[in-house]
Chains A and B, each alone.
Chain A
Amino acid sequence: MGKKDNTKKAVLHRRKPISKFKKVVIFLIAQLLLAFSVLLMLITKNQTMYQAGDSYYGFTVYEDIFSSDEVFEDSNVFETLFNKSMDDVIYLSVIKHQFEEKGLFSGKKQVDITNYAHRKDMAGNNGITAVFYLEDLLKWANAGIDYEDAYVSLYNYGVSAENLDMNIQLPEYAHLKDKMGNYIPDTWMLQPVNYALESDKIYDITEDGMGNYYGHTSILKNKYRTIDGKNIDQLVNNWADYYNLVEDIDKTINNVYTNYIQYQWLGPLYFEGNTNVLYCVRMTDANGQKVYHTNIEDADKLKERDLDKYFEDNSSKYLYYSPNDLIVQTNTNIRNEDIRSILISHEIEYAYPDDSKIWIGINKDYPVEDEYFAARNKFNSKTLPTAACAIGSIVCLAFFAGLMIYLAVKTGWVKSEDGEAVLELNGADDIPLEVFLGICVLLAFLLYLISSLFTFDYEYINRIMNSMGQYTLPVFGICFFVLACMLGVVFLSLIRRCKAGTLFSNSLVAILGNKMIKGFEDASGKHPGSALVILAYIIFLLVNLVVVFISATLLDYGGSEEGFFGAAMLFVMAIIDIAIGLFHIKCRRERYEIVEGIDRIRNGETNFKLNASVMHGSNVALAEAANHIGDGIHAAVETSMKDEKMKADLITNVSHDIKTPLTSIINYVDLLKRENIQDEKVKGYIKVLDEKSQRLKHLTVDLVEASKISSGNVVYEMKNINFAELINQAVAEFEDKFEEKGLNVVSELECDNPIVVADSRHMWRIIENLLNNVYKYAMPQTRIYINLKTEEIAKVMYTWVSIKNISAQALNINANELTERFIRGDVSRSSEGSGLGLSIAKSLTEGQNGKFNIYLDGDLFKVTVAMPASKE
């Protein structure tokens, strides 16, 4: 439990946000450290790397980072260079000994092949040797050592050597044949045939069954002759000697050539005035004379002791060595074994017999600008302690890493409004991963490019250093810093993505993939049936693809039978495809039928039925559903109609039941009125009874009518009627009533088309109700305006009448409410009227496709009844 808590606490601690400013500062410090580290690394590298040699032969020397040498001569670089020089000098002296006479190159120097080839092992060749001029050997090396294939026959006339005949055909040696009188050297005959057969010098040997042999052998092309003008085959008596000699010549030519190249390279390098190296090598030549190879003037005239002194005086570091004493005299760390190993490495120890002596030293004044000079300059120009730089670089790097890890932990966490740590991504994190990584790679590449330019390409850095001088490092540092910042931003963004789990989900691949999946899901609506359809479609496509592929292959195969199969498959597939297509078209048609059916149901044909048994696929369920909807609507309509009818019946019945007693009331009130009653009070009572019973009578009539209309139990007989005529008739009916109240009718009944389509009796009822309304509620002694007009409303021609009057009482009511049942202008209901008049008028109007509207404007009461105008 405690552990868990600790872990949780640690997580919370990790997530504890730090301020943005802090983050930026830490980030910049980290990048600065990185740049600094790299700069230090660069300085370190620059200070520890030394280039030597020239374009023909260059090498790099590294100074030990942690060496504390203060003098160049003690440095690792110096030691390496010195060793190299020593190696060169020892080697050069040997070559000089081989090629020079009296200090100069001599092409006429005679080279004993056998001696030269065996100068180390001192082995002989039965005393057989060949002597060439040095220049001939070098020329031969240049021309190349070539061999040619020769056909050899050995005729066995018996077992004795005399009977053995050997024939060799070398057409291009015809001149030699003439000169020697015999094509085959006689001396060769002495060689036992066995050697020729057993050695591997003759190959591809066949025997013809009679002791005769046939084969091939390699013959050296005699491009140059010995100093006395002989070919080598003239120097030997048998095949064994011939081949040994050829081998030695081959080796000698190669060795001489290799040494000559080194001689040409090293000779000028260590020539006096070209180097700070002083050397002197004393050797003994074949005649027992002492020879000096040196770049010191008159060295041969100095005594050995003076030479020692000369080197000790003039050299910063020196060494002299005499194999005879096995003593190394030096102020360097080089020991006897080191020199031995140099001698052995060149296989030239033989050249230094015991009486040889080697002096070598470095001119302490460094008068020549060679690699010693350059290295010494560089060593002395060190600006910073190398070791400190290296350590500083590592430390900076470590701090950088630490800060970056800290930032990586903290990045993304910010404090939300309620004080909790929440992960927040910024704009950079929304860039798709691929694009981001692309930028990242580009930056890294740029960084690498700059780093490599500055650190690895010595030439380039030199050039830049020369062109920019002291600004090199700052410029490089700034470049690096900027790039490092960018990379740092990229790195932190990646970390944030990891934290938010959007590393992969924000990649283009994931986004596109999701889009595709979502597209499929949208199209299929995630409905399992749709997945089935998609699956079926894919299978359909695959089957088609496979069949087309197979048939194409078969057709391509060419055979008549395969071709027939291919065509048949295509044909069958085509038929299946057409069948599937037809099926879909059929389904489509069924779908239209269903839509049509639903339309019919919607238009009131509620008992319409689709035939689901002839449908296919999902249409069956659809058709059944449509049928069910039809049934439902049918049932609902039936129920509601039944309900309305019941309601209407109820009201009718109730009103009947009211009417019977009402009849009695009215009749007896009437009888009372006929009695000769003198009492005025009683007369007043009877009057009230009369009025109220009459009112009750009207109410019951209106109630029945209203309920009949609203329950749809009204039959409309639509005919063309003259609206103007109707209004005239109606107004005539009300003339007396209006006169009684002093109401004056002003009618304007001229209009484009007074003929409307309506039920005349219901129209009368509407107008009667409206005029009744006017009669009841209009202010006495006012005018009533009745207008007729033909107008187009929503593309239908309407002829409408408007009746305007001034209300006797204030109309504190909404116009819409007036047409509701039992609503009257005065809420107190004190006035006469059932409150159904306007409601009935509106219902009847709308029942005849008319429009009924009431407008109230202050005391102005306006009703319009618009009826569809006749089209005739």
Chain B
Amino acid sequence: MDKILVCDDDKEIVEAIEIYLQQEGFEIVKAYDGMEALEALKDSEDIRMVILDIMMPRLDGIHAALKIREFSTVPIIFLSAKSEDSDKVLGLNIGADDYITKPFSPLELIARVKSNIRRFTTLGSLNVTNNSLFSAGGLVINDETKEVTVDGDIIKLTPIEYNILLLLVKNQGKVFSIEQIYENIWNEEAIGADNTVAVHIRHIREKIEINPKEPRYLKVVWGVGYKIEKQ
């Protein structure tokens, strides 16, 4: 039973999260400000994840995260009403593993929590020795078995979707335009712009991403193409 520290100055939110996570089988440790969170973390060694609000009395989430990082590598998910890009960048830069904005979708929260815990627990255990094994963060493609997993979960893809994803994962960080993808996958000259590829990619995203609108793996470079972020 993984222990998760949930810290928010709004008690109702903490309780709601507790309900959701308990349903998923997690044990919850509650804290209502940064100081309490730090103390709770120091008290119990086996806390596997921290969900941290940013705006809190006594010690805010950012400082709390900094302090946590001084002694622990436990995954931290920020849960904040601050939705600016700069806030997200800041949060991720000081050592947080994810950033969820309020108001959040409970399903997304659960998915992200699970994903992060899986990654944290399996991190380093994965040995990429197989030549037919491609990965980008939690996304792993086994080209031999034609199996795609995200944080361990097997994803079902159509052949075209699989080929597209494989192309992108093989060329991590490189942006492919719709045309290029089309030519690569169909081995045909692209005749006119078409959104067939775009639709496929949306479907892939919907399958591999927790929140397709804020993709972690398959990112849309608007007006240019698509790419898999190099992890």
Complex interface: chain A residues within 8 A of B224 (CB): 721-722, 725, 760
- Chain A's nearest CB lies how many Å from the CB of B157? 17
Query: A683: CB under 8 A from chain B?
Result: no
Q: Are B194 and A704 in contact (CB under 8 A)?
A: no
Complex interface: chain B residues within 8 A of A735 (CB): 195, 199, 202
Question: Given B20, B83, B202, B222, which contacts A726 in the complex, CB threshold below 8 Å?
Answer: B222
Complex interface: chain A residues within 8 A of B193 (CB): 724-725, 728, 749-750
CA distance A802 to B103 in the complex (A): 34
Q: Are B103 and A663 in contact (CB under 8 A)?
A: yes
Question: Given B20, B104, B195, which contacts A731 in the complex, CB threshold below 8 Å?
Answer: B195
A738-761 contacts to B (CB < 8 Å): 749-750, 756, 758, 760-761
- Chain A's nearest CB lies how many Å from the CB of B116? 20
Complex interface: chain A residues within 8 A of B194 (CB): 728
Residue among A697, A726, A728, A750 with the highest chain B CB neighbour number at 10 A = A728
Query: A62: CB under 8 A from chain B?
Result: no
Q: Are B103 and A662 in contact (CB under 8 A)?
A: yes
- B55 to A, closest residue via Cβ: A656
- Chain A interface residue count, CB cutoff 8 Å, equals 40
Complex interface: chain B residues within 8 A of A697 (CB): 103
Query: B94: CB under 8 A from chain A?
Result: no
Complex interface: chain B residues within 8 A of A731 (CB): 195, 198
- Chain A's nearest CB lies how many Å from the CB of B220? 6
- Chain A's nearest CB lies how many Å from the CB of B10? 5
Query: B201: CB under 8 A from chain A?
Result: yes
Question: Given B12, B84, B106, B198, which contacts A729 in the complex, CB threshold below 8 Å?
Answer: B198
Interface code A27-66, partner B: CB below 8 Å = 1, 0 otherwise? Answer: 0000000000000000000000000000000000000000
Q: Are B192 and A671 in contact (CB under 8 A)?
A: no
Complex interface: chain A residues within 8 A of B195 (CB): 728-729, 731-732, 735
Q: Are A721 and B12 in contact (CB under 8 A)?
A: no
Q: Do A663 and B223 contact each other (CB < 8 Å), given the known contacts A671-B19, A732-B199, A735-B202?
A: no
Q: Do A725 and B225 contact each other (CB < 8 Å), given the known contacts A659-B81, A670-B106, A732-B195?
A: yes
Question: Given B103, B201, B225, which contacts A659 in the complex, CB threshold below 8 Å?
Answer: B103
- B206 to A, closest residue via Cβ: A736
Query: A660: CB under 8 A from chain B?
Result: yes
- B106 to A, closest residue via Cβ: A670
Q: Do A733 and B13 contact each other (CB < 8 Å), given the known contacts A663-B103, A725-B224?
A: no
Query: A612: CB under 8 A from chain B?
Result: no
Question: Given A668, A670, A725, A763, which contacts B12 in the complex, CB threshold below 8 Å?
Answer: A668
Query: B160: CB under 8 A from chain A?
Result: no
Q: Are B225 and A660 in contact (CB under 8 A)?
A: no
Complex interface: chain B residues within 8 A of A665 (CB): 103
Q: Are A760 and B81 in contact (CB under 8 A)?
A: no
Q: Do A729 and B81 contact each other (CB < 8 Å), given the known contacts A663-B13, A666-B103?
A: no
Q: Are B223 and A726 in contact (CB under 8 A)?
A: yes
Residue among B17, B195, B199, B202 with the highest chain A CB neighbour number at 10 A = B195
Q: Are B222 and A733 in contact (CB under 8 A)?
A: no
Q: Do A656 and B198 contact each other (CB < 8 Å), given the known contacts A667-B13, A726-B223, A729-B220?
A: no
Q: Are B81 and A660 in contact (CB under 8 A)?
A: yes
Query: A689: CB under 8 A from chain B?
Result: no
CA distance A4 to B145 in the complex (A): 128
CA distance A398 to B83 in the complex (A): 110
Question: Given B12, B20, B84, B201, which contacts A664 in the complex, CB threshold below 8 Å?
Answer: B12
B112-134 contacts to A (CB < 8 Å): none
Complex interface: chain B residues within 8 A of A660 (CB): 10, 13, 81, 102
Q: Are A729 and B13 in contact (CB under 8 A)?
A: no
Complex interface: chain A residues within 8 A of B55 (CB): 656
Interface code B4-46, partner A: CB below 8 Å = 1, 0 otherwise? Answer: 0000001011001101100000000000000000000000000
Interface code A59-89, partner B: CB below 8 Å = 1, 0 otherwise? Answer: 0000000000000000000000000000000
Query: B178: CB under 8 A from chain A?
Result: yes
Q: Are B192 and A750 in contact (CB under 8 A)?
A: yes
Complex interface: chain B residues within 8 A of A749 (CB): 193
- A667 to B, closest residue via Cβ: B16
A683-726 contacts to B (CB < 8 Å): 693, 697, 701, 704, 721-726
- Chain B's nearest CB lies how many Å from the CB of A775? 15
Q: Are A729 and B222 in contact (CB under 8 A)?
A: yes
Complex interface: chain A residues within 8 A of B225 (CB): 725
Query: B82: CB under 8 A from chain A?
Result: yes
Query: B221: CB under 8 A from chain A?
Result: yes
- Chain B's nearest CB lies how many Å from the CB of A100? 150
Query: B142: CB under 8 A from chain A?
Result: no
Interface residues of A (CB under 8 A from B): 652, 655-656, 659-668, 670-671, 693, 697, 701, 704, 721-726, 728-733, 735, 749-750, 756, 758, 760-761, 763-764
Known: A667-B16, A722-B223. 15 other contacts (CB 8 A): A655-B81, A660-B13, A663-B104, A664-B10, A664-B13, A666-B104, A667-B106, A670-B106, A704-B83, A724-B193, A725-B177, A730-B222, A732-B199, A735-B195, A763-B222
Query: What are 24 A-B pairs at a CB distance below 8 A?
Result: A652-B84, A656-B55, A656-B82, A659-B103, A660-B10, A661-B10, A662-B103, A663-B13, A664-B12, A664-B16, A666-B104, A667-B20, A667-B104, A724-B193, A725-B178, A725-B193, A728-B193, A728-B194, A731-B195, A731-B198, A732-B201, A735-B202, A760-B224, A763-B223
